[in-house]
């Protein structure tokens, strides 16, 4: 089976999505991307080999609606984008008073629609375990809308994250 760029689709493994952290690297031309695959066709070629990838640039700046739509429309059905939440939330706001920022970034990335996947909130290395702050952050986003689906940080789900964080603190992660 081939997609509209003439590339095949990767085999499925039930319940497992395999991908890489990004898809657009100049050093991949030759070792991964054939020389004749144009840059604009690289996402389609990538999606013929993998089912998921991480969007890293959403960590550094809010992507345009056009960019999000292009990512969504470039890959086949069943492809999933994992993506990093804005560093403004994690590094500048430090998980406090960031409800509006969360709504903004989730609203924008909601344009991925059915390709909207897991969200990574990457914390700075000097951010020490603070269960009270973490619990406040998680409860602030009880229900977030991304397009036509509610995502992430719902009551009942966040307790497991807090418990895991508590385990990390007990193992020496807290200072």
- Note the pLDDT of residue 117: 87
Q: Look up tokens 């809010």; give the residue.
A: 62
What pLDDT, in 10s, does the model give residues 143-163?
Answer: 444 444 333 443 333 444 444
Find out whether 147 and 116 touch, Cβ atoms under 8 Å. yes
Q: Output the DSSP codes for 11-71.
A: PPBTTB--EES-S--GGGBTTTB-TTS-GGGHHHHHHTT-SEEEE-HHHHSPPPHHHHHHH
pTM of the model: 0.75
Q: Could you tell me the two tokens for 36?
A: 């004749």
Q: Grade residue 99 by pLDDT with cuts at 50, 70 and 90.
A: confident
Q: Grade residue 12 by pLDDT with cuts at 50, 70 and 90.
A: low
- The answer to which of 39-53, 59-73, 135-149, 154-168 has the lowest mean pLDDT is 154-168
């Amino acid at each position: 089976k081939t997609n509209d760029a003439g590339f095949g689709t990767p085999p499925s493994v039930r319940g497992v999505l395999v991908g890489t952290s990004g898809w657009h690297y100049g050093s991949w031309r030759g070792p991964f991307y054939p020389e004749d695959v144009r840059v604009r066709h690289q996402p389609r070629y990538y999606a013929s080999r993998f089912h998921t990838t991480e969007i890293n640039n959403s960590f550094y700046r809010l992507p345009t609606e056009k960019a999000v739509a292009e990512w969504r429309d470039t890959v086949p059905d069943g492809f999933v984008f994992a993506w990093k939440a804005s560093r403004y939330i994690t590094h500048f706001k430090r998980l406090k008073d960031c409800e509006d920022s969360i709504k903004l970034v989730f609203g924008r990335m909601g344009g991925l629609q059915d390709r909207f996947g897991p969200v990574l909130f990457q914390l700075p290395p000097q951010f020490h375990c603070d269960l009270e702050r973490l619990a406040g952050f998680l409860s602030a986003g009880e229900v977030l809308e991304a397009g036509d689906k509610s995502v992430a940080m719902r009551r009942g789900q966040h307790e497991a994250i807090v418990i895991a964080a508590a385990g990390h603190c007990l193992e020496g992660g807290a200072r």
